[in-house]
Chains A and B, each alone.
Chain A
């Protein structure tokens, strides 16, 4: 056999071995669920949903086949590229729906903030691995700085949802790297007190003439809408009211596939994207939502297991952070649709329609698979 053919066989073997059966099962379950729900929420989008899924699975597979250490080696270039592109967006980006988020690079439009969701935890994990054994206050400060710059660039687009997600992604790496509770607790306290006071003084703060300075008008609106959905029943508050009605009217068994009145009579906004969870809840009831929660829990369990047994510090941190990102997506989306969190543009992971988010999430799964593979490789 020629050298060339041995190499090719090796690649094929590695590709097959790269797939983690548990993660693959979870992923296919979620995507199958997504197709079924899309068949009710927006049947005309089923084809492209399937195409996005196929594309995302291929991307996942490719990433899974790359050894995890080599992936971490890509962290710095990706991070730098992402940051440069974000600067480009803020300067030359296209405005859509009141925000400058897209960059036209000639062939296609890309959303650099999406890249940051993966590049940020990779960058920080890579950095902490470089400093392994010497991680101290200085390293945490530098990591904090690496986090703040791109988040700031995303925040001015303005895109509250993505900047929160990128912040969370970076924070999880820092948290797993061992940032002292002495620092975490005060920050958490400030956050809780801050949110608590906003809720307490919501009425005064949400007067139309009050300028919040820090947050944009639409962000203020979103927070205020959460505090009192009824004050704006036909705007954003209308969305929350209608999605709560959809969920609640579903009951235990649901109204049945394609029988959701809230969905099919257009009372539900964004029913194929951010509010698709309400469609699921209305048509499949409490049972459907608990099945979804259980599937996500399985995903998280597998992710944490991979993190616990990951071979190096960098892969450990990255696996832990990616798992928590999945959790964050799921919790924020379901929390928002069911009315316990503000409306931020976070999709329901692996279910909501939209190619970019699905590819990003599947890249995350691919990284987890790659890390799992490295551990097995190391053992043997």
Chain B
């Protein structure tokens, strides 16, 4: 220990220590200087990039969604600007208190609160969430005056989707709704996430869904300088959003209205196609619903009403529900017989009123039979026995083989989402459909039922309409489509070309014979009453799809509960020589085809060809139709 040293020694040691301290300080400063050199020279580029990343944010500008108009330019879906009141949850301390305070200035219904909660659960915290949409001007003014009280609450001008015709054609147009987690996954699968930055809505059904890519448009981006709180300070550059493309439809909305009105309160579907192009003129599924309910998020009560209704209004029967075609299958069966050579144009048979097969007697509707029946008469009077026999002669494989090219039992490829396949029965189908070996076996008796459009047969109205369109278009089958043109923001039209799926090889003489028979159906046969006084020649065929098979006893309509009554079919095309329209009508539980479905077809065809409705619509409440099926 340095104890009791002389002051000089002490002083010398102090000086050494000062030198040590000074050196230490110098070394430390050198360390700092080298650190600054490292940060500011060596890694300057890296940190400059980091600073720029901090500073610059890309803000999406949401594109205007394309509009939808019918073939005559009538607007079916459009946008309008309205003010919304939005809350950014991350900037608000007490959401409940804020909403309560807001409710003193603007009307906030319990419904608005529920929707807010729902959207909040699905959104990221820094998104702004609407608490009220479509503010009135008064409400906007009241809020602006008190805005200082509400941090994190803002009025935003937003575009809303509007379906001006409400429930008309709702199954075709569909609707948009807020993007949910499932939609986000789908967007990611498409690799479209960047384009949906900032988008809040996406097509959920109908054309809004199937043409989402066209309607949505390209999101624009604005490069802005942001501060640490993420608020935009100034814009640096911008690439504008490209509005979505407009859709022009083949649909005639006036025709659609006529068809929907013709259904009245009845459940059913109608598909009307232009045979030469495959363009859909009308596509009806009743009952309909108001798509406007969905845009802002449907309320629980509205949803419950739509979803729980026994009439299933959300179901698009025209493309999703498959029904046995009944006797509307007979013209196609006749073609099958002629094309395969199992029948020739001069063929006729004596109809005893029944057909015996494997110990079972298949009955005709007319007791005692129709007498001598050839191809023509078999269609006009809808003779079952003729087709029992034909089906048996053809065999199930030949039937299935002939029907498949018409699109029976497979999706038509119409530009709407959610199409069903239906069932074209065949032994292979049965093997796939059933598990148990005894059920997998095909029985000859089943072929007999298939021959008159019953049994396992099940087709959607669009399949039947499209098959008819091909039959009256010399066998040329199109993919049915509802969109005719896609129009971009500059007005450039992109035509959706009719897409022929295939040409079915059919003998013109055979086609002429079958079509002549179908014309006579509406002159003297089962459709005559509905088309009495028509100003054009029209071909058609009635059909009845059995819902419930009564063992033994005869079917008496009045005795069967409404839901168990047969479905009523009618297929028709006009004008007969050069068809402009081919359609299939189905009325659920409508009874005989001639009774409910045919008058609807008459109204639609009259309107399409003559732009007027029949003067005396066929009275469906009149007592029984003269000629039976």
A296 touches B54 (CB 8 A): no
Known: A261-B54, A308-B15. A281 touches B48 (CB 8 A): no
Known: A267-B54, A290-B33, A297-B29. A244 touches B1 (CB 8 A): no
Q: Mark the stretch among B35-43, B269-277, B310-318, B429-437 that contacts chain A.
A: B35-43
Instruction: Report which residue of B5, B10, B41, B47 has the largest number of chain A beta carbons within 10 angstroms of its beta carbon.
Output: B47
Residues in chain A near residue B55, CB distance under 8 A: 261, 265
B1-44: which have CB < 8 Å to A? 1-5, 7, 10-11, 13-15, 17-18, 21-22, 25-26, 28-29, 31-33, 35-37, 39-41, 43-44
Residues in chain A near residue B18, CB distance under 8 A: 176, 304, 307-308, 320
Known: A134-B4, A265-B54, A320-B18. A178 touches B10 (CB 8 A): yes
A54-84: which have CB < 8 Å to B? none
Known: A248-B44, A293-B32. A265 touches B227 (CB 8 A): yes
Known: A300-B25, A308-B18, A320-B18. A249 touches B32 (CB 8 A): no
A199 CB to closest chain B CB (Å) equals 16
A151-186: which have CB < 8 Å to B? 172, 175-176, 178, 180
Residues in chain B near residue A262, CB distance under 8 A: 51, 54
Known: A250-B40, A252-B41, A293-B32. A136 touches B3 (CB 8 A): yes
Q: Which residue of A lies closest to B49 (CB)?
A: A249
Residues in chain B near residue A301, CB distance under 8 A: 22
Residues in chain A near residue B48, CB distance under 8 A: 248-249, 251
B227 touches A338 (CB 8 A): no
Residues in chain A near residue B5, CB distance under 8 A: 133
Indicate whether A340 reaches chain B with its CB closer than 8 angstroms.
yes
Residues in chain B near residue A316, CB distance under 8 A: 11, 14
A249 touches B36 (CB 8 A): no
B227 touches A281 (CB 8 A): no
The listed residue (B36, B39, B50, B227) touching A290 by CB distance below 8 A is B36
B7 touches A133 (CB 8 A): yes
Cα–Cα distance between A327 and B40 once the two chains are bound (Å):
23
Known: A266-B229, A293-B32. A178 touches B25 (CB 8 A): no
Indicate whether B208 reaches chain A with its CB closer than 8 angstroms.
no
Residues in chain A near residue B52, CB distance under 8 A: 261
A180 touches B1 (CB 8 A): yes
B44 touches A265 (CB 8 A): no
Indicate whether B46 reaches chain A with its CB closer than 8 angstroms.
yes
Instruction: Report which residue of B17, B39, B55 has the largest number of chain A beta carbons within 10 angstroms of its beta carbon.
Output: B39
Q: Which residue of B lies closest to A290 (CB)?
A: B33
Cα–Cα distance between A178 and B17 once the two chains are bound (Å):
8
Known: A251-B40, A266-B228. A331 touches B1 (CB 8 A): no
Indicate whether B404 reaches chain A with its CB closer than 8 angstroms.
no
Instruction: Kindly supply a per-residue 1/0 record for chain A positions 340-380, scoring 1 wherever the CB is within 8 Å of any chain B CB and 0 otherwise.
Output: 10000000000000000000000000000000000000000
B232 CB to closest chain A CB (Å) equals 11
Cα–Cα distance between A251 and B36 once the two chains are bound (Å):
9
Cα–Cα distance between A297 and B26 once the two chains are bound (Å):
8
Cα–Cα distance between A313 and B54 once the two chains are bound (Å):
54
Indicate whether B520 reaches chain A with its CB closer than 8 angstroms.
no
A105 CB to closest chain B CB (Å) equals 35
The listed residue (B3, B25, B39, B233) touching A248 by CB distance below 8 A is B39
A87-130: which have CB < 8 Å to B? none
Cα–Cα distance between A226 and B55 once the two chains are bound (Å):
25
Instruction: Kindly supply a per-residue 1/0 record for chain B positions 223-248, scoring 1 wherever the CB is within 8 Å of any chain A CB and 0 otherwise.
Output: 00111110001000000000000000
A266-323: which have CB < 8 Å to B? 266-267, 281, 285-286, 289-290, 293, 296-297, 300-301, 304, 307-308, 313, 316-317, 320, 323
Residues in chain B near residue A175, CB distance under 8 A: 17, 21
The listed residue (A265, A285, A297) touching B228 by CB distance below 8 A is A265
B35 touches A261 (CB 8 A): no
B562 CB to closest chain A CB (Å) equals 65
B17 touches A176 (CB 8 A): yes
Residues in chain A near residue B13, CB distance under 8 A: 178
Known: A175-B21, A304-B21. A247 touches B40 (CB 8 A): yes
Q: Which residue of B lies closest to A285 (CB)?
A: B40
Residues in chain A near residue B22, CB distance under 8 A: 300-301, 304
Indicate whether A23 reaches chain B with its CB closer than 8 angstroms.
no
B564 CB to closest chain A CB (Å) equals 66
Residues in chain A near residue B14, CB distance under 8 A: 176, 178, 316-317, 320
Indicate whether A324 reaches chain B with its CB closer than 8 angstroms.
yes
Indicate whether A245 reaches chain B with its CB closer than 8 angstroms.
yes
A335 CB to closest chain B CB (Å) equals 7
Cα–Cα distance between A176 and B12 once the two chains are bound (Å):
11
Cα–Cα distance between A370 and B43 once the two chains are bound (Å):
45
A338 touches B39 (CB 8 A): yes
Indicate whether A8 reaches chain B with its CB closer than 8 angstroms.
no
Residues in chain B near residue A133, CB distance under 8 A: 4-5, 7
A261 touches B21 (CB 8 A): no
Cα–Cα distance between A133 and B6 once the two chains are bound (Å):
7
Indicate whether A41 reaches chain B with its CB closer than 8 angstroms.
no
Indicate whether A334 reaches chain B with its CB closer than 8 angstroms.
yes
Indicate whether A137 reaches chain B with its CB closer than 8 angstroms.
yes
Residues in chain B near residue A224, CB distance under 8 A: none
Indicate whether A36 reaches chain B with its CB closer than 8 angstroms.
no
Cα–Cα distance between A13 and B208 once the two chains are bound (Å):
92
B21 touches A324 (CB 8 A): yes
A248 touches B54 (CB 8 A): no
The listed residue (B10, B29, B233) touching A313 by CB distance below 8 A is B10
Q: Which residue of B lies closest to A326 (CB)?
A: B25
The listed residue (A281, A320, A331, A340) touching B29 by CB distance below 8 A is A331
Cα–Cα distance between A244 and B35 once the two chains are bound (Å):
10
Residues in chain B near residue A244, CB distance under 8 A: 39, 47
B12 CB to closest chain A CB (Å) equals 10
A286 touches B47 (CB 8 A): no
Residues in chain B near residue A293, CB distance under 8 A: 29, 32-33
Indicate whether A46 reaches chain B with its CB closer than 8 angstroms.
no
Indicate whether A146 reaches chain B with its CB closer than 8 angstroms.
no
Residues in chain A near residue B50, CB distance under 8 A: 245, 248-249
What are 9 pairs between A and B in contact, CB < 8 Å?
A245-B50, A247-B39, A250-B40, A252-B44, A262-B54, A281-B36, A290-B36, A296-B29, A313-B7
Can you add 11 more A-B contacts, CB < 8 Å, to A178-B2, A261-B225, A324-B25? Answer: A245-B54, A247-B39, A247-B47, A248-B40, A262-B51, A265-B228, A266-B229, A289-B36, A316-B11, A324-B21, A334-B32
Binding site for B on A (CB under 8 A): 132-137, 172, 175-176, 178, 180, 242, 244-252, 261-262, 265-267, 281, 285-286, 289-290, 293, 296-297, 300-301, 304, 307-308, 313, 316-317, 320, 323-324, 327, 331, 334-335, 338-340
The 9 tightest CB contacts between A and B, nearest first, are A248-B47, A249-B51, A266-B228, A265-B227, A248-B39, A136-B3, A286-B40, A249-B47, A251-B44
